[in-house]
Chains A and B, each alone.
Chain A
Amino acid sequence: MTPQPPAWAQALVSLLVPARDRDSISGDLLEEYRETVVPQRGSRAANAWYLRQVAGFMWRACLPFGVALGATLAVREVIDATIPTTDNYHYRAAVTTYLAFGTYSLTGLHFGWRTDRTLSGGVVATAVTIVAIAMAVTTLVATTALLSAGVIDRVPSYEGLREGLDVPIAPMLAVGGVFGTLGAAIGRALRRIPRIDLI
């Protein structure tokens, strides 16, 4: 029987690579898997190798947008922890929310255009959320440590720290998936508009 990497991992690769290179990249990975990795390391280790390659594609895909969203959340964490609010965080929450919507939509638009797959936007937006939340939590922990140690010359706003800890992970994953997919649908549709040479 011909060895096969996990079907879901192959499907994930096809969602992450440019439409033009989809066949060649997935073919290269399959060829290396079957001809080199399985004979040398066995099926289980070969599957782990294949998953590492998929993780590499996912990491490259989500990093720029993940860092952008993570920076937005991180700045918000620092502001909440150090500058008191006068409107119970409403204005800050609105700005953060709209920036997140924008980032998710741009992620989707970019990947829909690049991969010609609508689902790619939702998948990458989900990974973007995970990267961003990891950045935000790291920032919150660092800010708390710096405030406690007196390195940041501010009276710690414990209410702000609590607000920072209250990252709505599940809604962000859901909203990211929806906005990413919608953005990807638009990006994909834009690929079909014929180019008009004006000059």
Chain B
Amino acid sequence: MSDVLGIFEQAVLLAVVRLEGDGYGRTILREVQRRLNREVAASAVYATLDRLEAKGLATSREGAGSPVRGGRTKRHFTATAQGLRALNDARIATANIWRGFASPLKGRS
């Protein structure tokens, strides 16, 4: 059993996977906001990326800067095999939890 990922960790790691190794802080933040359909604090995304890297679910490498960034370097993130396993496990766990329920749920409010 791999690491259990929370919803926000899943959103960040899926953004990393979607951006195929080219994702860096800004593009990951935008992808997460698009997936969650709300504004997200940059600090929350960086803290999560830090945690995913510490758990071995993602790795990073330094990339070149650009004038619009004031020449500052980028940090590109890639999901590891362990990270992909954790995402697959999270998806299976969610599907198992929902098995047998109609979507959307109906009942008295």
- Beyond A30-B68, A31-B26, A35-B68, whether A24 also contacts B43 by CB under 8 A is no
B72 within 8 A of A: yes
Distance from B69 Cβ to chain A, minimum over Cβ atoms (Å): 4
B46 lies within 8 A of A17 (CB): yes
Chain A residues 20-35 with CB under 8 Å of chain B are: 21, 23-32, 34-35
Q: How large is the interface on A (under 10, 10 to 19, 20 to 34, 35 or more residues)?
A: 20 to 34
B74 within 8 A of A: yes
B68 lies within 8 A of A31 (CB): yes
A23 lies within 8 A of B73 (CB): yes
B72 lies within 8 A of A27 (CB): yes
Q: Can you list 23 contacts pairing A with B, beta carbon distance less than 8 Å?
A: A21-B46, A23-B65, A23-B72, A23-B73, A24-B73, A25-B25, A26-B72, A27-B70, A27-B73, A28-B25, A28-B26, A28-B69, A28-B74, A31-B66, A32-B30, A32-B42, A35-B68, A53-B41, A53-B43, A56-B43, A59-B43, A60-B43, A60-B47
- What is the interface of chain B, defined by CB distance below 8 A to chain A? 24-26, 29-30, 41-44, 46-47, 50, 62, 65-66, 68-70, 72-75
Distance from A106 Cβ to chain B, minimum over Cβ atoms (Å): 19
A52 within 8 A of B: yes
- What is the interface of chain A, defined by CB distance below 8 A to chain B? 17-18, 21, 23-32, 34-35, 52-53, 56-57, 59-60
Q: How far is the CA of A30 from the CA of B25 in the complex (A)?
A: 11
B43 lies within 8 A of A28 (CB): no
Q: B50: which A residues are within 8 A, CB to CB? A: 18, 21
Distance from B73 Cβ to chain A, minimum over Cβ atoms (Å): 5
Q: A31: which B residues are within 8 A, CB to CB? A: 26, 66, 68-69
Q: How far is the CA of A153 from the CA of B57 in the complex (A)?
A: 52
Q: How far is the CA of A117 from the CA of B38 in the complex (A)?
A: 33
Q: How far is the CA of A191 from the CA of B25 in the complex (A)?
A: 26
B47 lies within 8 A of A24 (CB): no
Which residue on A lies nearest to B75, using beta carbons? A24
B41 lies within 8 A of A32 (CB): no
Q: B72: which A residues are within 8 A, CB to CB? A: 23-24, 26-27, 30
Interface centre among B26, B29, B65, B66 (most CB of A within 10 A): B26
B26 lies within 8 A of A32 (CB): yes
Q: How far is the CA of A28 from the CA of B65 in the complex (A)?
A: 10
Which residue on B lies nearest to A17, using beta carbons? B46
Distance from B36 Cβ to chain A, minimum over Cβ atoms (Å): 16
Q: B25: which A residues are within 8 A, CB to CB? A: 24-25, 28
Q: B26: which A residues are within 8 A, CB to CB? A: 28-29, 31-32
